[in-house]
A and B are shown apart, each in its own frame.
Chain A
Amino acid sequence: MREAHAGWLEVLDPGALTTVQDLGRPGWAHLGVPRSGALDQPALRLANRLVGNREGAACLETTLTGAVLRSGATTTLAVTGAGCGVRVDGRPASWGAAVPVPAGAEVRVGPALDGVRSYVALAGGIDVAPVLGSRSSDVLSGLGPGPVALGDRLPLGRPGRASYGIEAVPVPRGDRLRIVLGPRADWFTAAALAGLDGASYEVAADSNRIGLRLTGLPIERERVEVPEELPSEGMVLGAVQVPPSGQPVVFLHDHPTTGGYPVVGVLVDEDLPVCAQARPGDRLTLRVVG
């Protein structure tokens, strides 16, 4: 008899916030559906390659505190993204590499030593039911599985191929955010725009999967005489939205599909992982590249 799933993963401690993530559900924004998906997509892709999955298979995304898991079957796992200690049944195991996990073993993904979000890939991927083509948990709209909770048993898919990848794990991510000005740069003063390049901002503690909140020199509006906001318009991943306070918010994967605050610029895609891994209190430097 074949079981419906190749195995399962039990959650012994979900930590501060652990969610199932894949590459998200782009293409539905016209229905008000956020893109969602892993915040650090290169790390998710790498974790999947290491365990022989397709790059977009569903993994766990942990937040700062790590998580404790137990696998019901013999499997292989890899942890990428934020650096952290990895232990299998109490024994130290490699971060950023394929690690064999015996059936019933306890897997401890430690607190993030650098960055915020670690990615835990298991051979076969996490096989919860997809919603609109994705298994991602969207904290804004509630689509997909909710954040994982103590005692959850997550089904695992069947491993694809037997051989596991070995590759160099990328170096740290740096601290600069490159932005392309627009579409609403004309809402801001010339002085504010001139000051953006090289400006240093601190990451605020209330940042989350929806947005990275930055604190620093306010980005001042030109049109102070206009009392109302912009009519709501479509928002893209990486949009730097500026509310009336002037303190910018970078939209991350669970961002709302429309918004009413002007967008001064948009991050280049390559710097989104910097946002995914920026810790409260970190300082980031804006660079205007277009």
Chain B
Amino acid sequence: MQARRVGRDGLLVECASVTEVAGAYAALRAREADLRAIDIVPAARTVLLDGLADRDAALELVVALTPARVDGPAPDGAEVEVPVRYDGPDLEEVARQWQVTSAEVTRIHRETEYVVAFCGFAPGFAYCTGLPAHLGVQRRQDPRPRVPAGAVALAGEFTSVYPSSSPGGWQLIGSTALPVWRPEADPPALLAPGTRVRFVDA
């Protein structure tokens, strides 16, 4: 794989797709002891290696990873079931965008198998991938000033659960009572990158 230099001790590993990010992240985490990075941060098309003890050695390791080896099936991460009440205020809007019924939206959302590609926006906010490309969702024109913790939401190619109450522009289709972010727990985030996720009826 290819990487760009970031500052004096970072590398930005480039991926062709979000699926490749999931594979590259799993492969890089598996080599954590050799990489000696302070942070390994997956995102939409990249994995950042920050605070490398020996960047040249890390770059050699990254270059030796081939996309064929990382773009395989979903990584063998932990599996989490999220019980959902499909009572979100934007269910009708998503049904309109997908040109299906609300019941069909919830069926598709339940029957899709997801993998957490990366976290961002807020601690524990997981970008879960798995929806087919043609089921992209446009964000709200006017973001809500406050979305409650536990809101189950869609935007772009992703679904997520709001880990804590915050402003937000995602379309809300339901809610879960399962806490996904508990900073006092180990691990603090239920939906860490690489985790496989299924949404089920509460």
Cα–Cα distance between A262 and B159 once the two chains are bound (Å): 25
Cα–Cα distance between A142 and B149 once the two chains are bound (Å): 14
8 Å CB contact of A231 from B40, B43, B193? B43
CB distance from B119 to the nearest CB of A (A): 4
User: Taking the complex as formed, is A27 at the interface, i.e. its CB lies under 8 A from any CB of chain B?
Assistant: yes
Count A interface residues, CB 8 Å. Answer: 34
User: Taking the complex as formed, is A131 at the interface, i.e. its CB lies under 8 A from any CB of chain B?
Assistant: yes
- Over the window 30-73 of chain B, the binary record of Cβ atoms lying under 8 Å from chain A Cβ atoms (1 yes, 0 no) is 00000000111111111110110000000000000000000000
Within 8 A of B (CB), among A26-55: 26-33
User: Taking the complex as formed, is B192 at the interface, i.e. its CB lies under 8 A from any CB of chain A?
Assistant: yes
User: Taking the complex as formed, is B150 at the interface, i.e. its CB lies under 8 A from any CB of chain A?
Assistant: no
8 Å CB contact of B123 from A31, A266, A268? A31
Assess whether A268 is in contact with B119, with CB atoms less than 8 Å apart. Answer: no
Assess whether A180 is in contact with B7, with CB atoms less than 8 Å apart. Answer: yes
8 Å CB contact of A232 from B38, B40, B43? B43
Within 8 A of A (CB), among B103-145: 118-125
Assess whether B183 is in contact with A143, with CB atoms less than 8 Å apart. Answer: yes
8 Å CB contact of A32 from B38, B40, B122? B122
**Given the complex, which residues of A lie within 8 Å of B188, measured CB to CB?**
28, 31, 33, 132
**Given the complex, which residues of A lie within 8 Å of B118, measured CB to CB?**
30, 258
Assess whether A234 is in contact with B8, with CB atoms less than 8 Å apart. Answer: no
CB distance from B60 to the nearest CB of A (A): 18
A233 with B48, Cβ < 8 A, contacts A30-B119, A32-B119, A268-B7 known: yes
- Can you offer 28 A-B residue contacts whose CB atoms are under 8 A? A27-B39, A29-B39, A29-B50, A30-B42, A32-B121, A32-B123, A33-B188, A131-B183, A132-B183, A141-B123, A142-B164, A180-B5, A180-B7, A180-B8, A182-B6, A183-B6, A183-B12, A184-B4, A231-B43, A232-B120, A233-B44, A233-B45, A233-B46, A234-B42, A257-B119, A266-B7, A268-B7, A290-B8
Q: Which residues of B pack against A, CB within 8 Å?
A: 4-8, 10, 12, 38-48, 50-51, 118-125, 164, 183-184, 187-189, 192-193
